[in-house]
Amino acid sequence: MVNTKVNLCGIELSNPVIPASGTFGYGYEYAQSHDINVLGTFSFKGTTREPRFGNPTPRIAECTAGMINAVGLQNPGVDKVISEELPKLKQCFHKPVMANVSGFSVEDYAYTCQRLDAEDQVGWLEVNVSCPNVHGGGMSFGTQPEAAAEVTRAVKAVTTKPVIIKLSPNVTDIVAIARACEDAGADGISLINTLLGMRIDLRTRHPIIANTMGGFSGPAIFPVALRMVYQVAGAVKIPVIGMGGVSCAEDVIEMMLAGATAVEVGAANLINPFACRDIVDNLPAVMQKYGIENLNEIIGGAHENG
């Protein structure tokens, strides 16, 4: 029997597979089709202090081996997440869940994280300083080490649960930002969020997405994500969650060899609602194929051989 268990910031997961924020709602939507408790955990939809309608439509554009989205953090706000979404989730998911938080000021981040930190269901706070689809917030905090560290310190000051900072790939030096977050007290780093991309309609000669640009995700970005996970994992001592174009169990293994303790799956869920379940199901066979008995033994393995 292979061992798929991993430990993420002090909490044991039955496996490292985590649906990424924005691709799995608040969980209960997917629970209508299958048992979501097979997952290690999942990161629920990005939550802000106040409700957000999101960006104007169209918000989605297809592209080769991926997609572009500019949803714009549509969510009901933290009060309703706590009063309405989490009770529904509790009926179908019986493990700690990862709360994804976005903000437009340092105070926003701290307030929302403090509220969610008090919820028993929340195991980790994934603080998104990397959203490329929102004007005036999100990624503006994730492009400079000092700003990312400021958010990290503010959140850590008002929370007791592990804080994982989600970083943007749309920067020159992602390692410097990761180190700044670690120095400011982050318990983990997750990366990468989407790359910045766009498409143009040849008939109208205008951008397809109303927001002009959006987050590029899907299998096409996997090599970039893998490279950044490898770089950051080699530079920090805290756990790394890898994501970006992951669509199969082999991708999970590759991310872990690059240094990821756990692996998030994003766009694949929008193509196939059973994607994460299938990856979890396939993981033991892929481990056996490559002679892996315990996933913990391969974390960062490429660094040892590289």
Active-site annotation, residues: 131
CA distance 170 to 195: 6
CA distance 223 to 228: 9
CA distance 175 to 229: 9
Helices (H), the chain: 28-31, 78-80, 86-90, 106-117, 139-142, 145-156, 174-183, 222-233, 249-258, 267-271, 275-289, 301-305
- Find, among 226, 217, 164, 163, the residue nearest to 193 by Cα: 217
What value does the CA radius of gyration of the chain take, rounded to a whole number of Å? 18
Q: Largest Cα–Cα distance in the chain?
A: 57
Give me the sign of the Cα torsion angle 194, 189, 300, 275.
negative
How far the first Cα of the chain sits from its last, in Å, is 29
Q: Please calculate the CA angle 24-255-39 and round it to the nearest 5 degrees.
A: 35
Do the Cβ atoms of 89 and 121 come closer than 8 Å? yes
Helix, strand, or coil here: 257? Answer: helix
In Å, how far from its chain's centre is CA 273? 17
